[in-house]
Amino acid sequence: MSTPTKNVAAWTSTLAQGEPVTFRFSRVRGALLALLCVFLILVGLVLGLAASGVLMLLGWLVVLGCLVLMVVHLRRAISPAVGLTVAPTGLTMTTARAGEIPWSEILQVETITQDSNRQIELGVTNAEAQRQYDAGLVTVFDREKTDGRMQKALWLPAGLAASKPALTSWIDEELTARSRF
């Protein structure tokens, strides 16, 4: 089943029935980024073949780096994997190495903007952050909250085929509902 990108009511209904809600990576975004990589590979080839010295080296590095990125984005465009699963027991995401993050380990959900990029950030307990770090996740962040306290945080995968504001709001509502128990 394809998850509607903005249908919060469908997400809520599915989760209320005990079924997980999955969010895949955007096919369109993957294809567009792969096309951008092709363009950058062509630029890198021109530099690598026509220039000399540092520009030639830079051209070949661009070709190599963009080839790797192109493969990643093509894979997402052709057969998009599930990037996030929201289940009655917690969240599972491709960026978390230690498996499912239980609802009890999530402290808050918010959308943050960093360098004009919007990300969905999960504030997690120190124990969950350590569990993820021990499993190999090196992108566990320390965030200073408005009251001066520090909180551990993880980012949801970028490029999900869902509205970030709608997804953030919905996960926050589900977190609030589950924290009452």
**Residue-by-residue DSSP string for 29-57:** HHHHHHHHHHHHHHHHHHHHHH--THHHH
CA 97, CA 93: separation in Å to the nearest integer? 8
CA 168, CA 39: separation in Å to the nearest integer? 33
Residue whose token pair is 């903005």 = 6
CA 30, CA 78: separation in Å to the nearest integer? 8
Residue whose token pair is 């999530």 = 106
| pLDDT value for 98 | 82
Q: Give the tens place of pLDDT for each residue, 85-108.
A: 999 999 998 877 888 999 999 999
| pLDDT value for 1 | 46
Angle, in degrees to the nearest 10, between helices 8-16 and 164-179: 30
Q: Which of 66, 130, 136, 131 is nearest to 95 (CA)?
A: 136
pTM over 0.75: no
pLDDT band at residue 168, thresholds of 50, 70 and 90? very high
CA 59, CA 76: separation in Å to the nearest integer? 26
DSSP annotation of 150 reads: E
Angle, in degrees to the nearest 10, between helices 27-50 and 54-78: 160
Q: Can you tell me the mean pLDDT for 21-34?
A: 81
Reply yes or no on whether the pLDDT at 62 is more than 70: yes
Q: Give the tens place of pLDDT for each residue, 128-165.
A: 999 998 888 768 888 888 888 899 999 888 888 888 88
Give the start-to-end residue ranges of the domains of the chain.
28-78, 89-179
CA 141, CA 157: separation in Å to the nearest integer? 14
Reply yes or no on whether the pLDDT at 170 is more than 90: yes
3-state secondary structure (DSSP) of residue 13: helix
Per the CB < 8 A criterion, the answer to whether 25 and 160 are in contact is: yes
